[in-house]
Chains A and B, each alone.
Chain A
Amino acid sequence: MTDPAETRHGPGRILILVYGIFALAATARAGFQIATQFSDAPIAYLLSAVAAVIYCAATFALARATKVSRRVATTAIVIELVGVIAIGAFSYAVPDDFPDATVWSHFGQGYGFVPVVLPVLGLLWLRRTR
Chain B
Amino acid sequence: MFEPLTWALVALSLAAMVYAIVLAALDKRINWTLLGVLGVIEVGLLAQLVIGIVQLAGTSRDVSGPFFVGYLIGSLIVLPLGALWALAESSRWGAGALAVACLVIPVLELRLHEIWTA
Name A residues whose Cβ lies closer than 8 Å to a Cβ of B: 9-14, 16-18, 20-21, 24-25, 28, 32, 36
B63 → chain A closest CB, angstroms: 15
By a CB distance below 8 angstroms, the chain B residues around A16 are 85, 97
Using CB atoms, name the residue of chain A closest to B86. Answer: A13
Q: Is the pair B97, A17 in contact by a Cβ cutoff of 8 Å?
A: yes
Q: Tell me, rounded to whole Å, the shortest Cβ–Cβ distance linking A79 to chain B.
A: 24
Task: Please judge, given known A-B contacts A21-B78, A21-B104, A24-B77, whether A13 and B96 are in contact too, CB under 8 Å.
Answer: yes
Minimum CB distance partner of B104 in chain A: A21
B100 touches which of A17, A24, A28 (Cβ 8 Å): A17
CA distance A14 to B93 in the complex (A): 7
Chain B: interface residue total (CB-CB under 8 A): 19
Question: Closest approach, in angstroms, between the C-beta of A48 and any C-beta of chain B?
Answer: 14
Whole-angstrom CA separation of A24 from B97 in the bound complex: 16
Tell me, in angstroms, the Cα distance from A17 to B79 when the chains sit together.
11
* Contact (Cβ within 8 A) B81 A20: yes
> Cβ of B36 < 8 Å from any Cβ of A?
no
Bound state CA distance, A17 and B30, in angstroms?
Answer: 16
Q: What B residues does A28 contact at CB under 8 A?
A: 70, 74
B93 near A9 (CB under 8 angstroms)? Answer: yes
Q: How far is the CA of A42 from the CA of B70 in the complex (A)?
A: 21
Whether A17 pairs with B74 at a CB distance below 8 angstroms is no
Which chain A residues lie closer than 8 Å to B74 at the CB level?
A: 24-25, 28
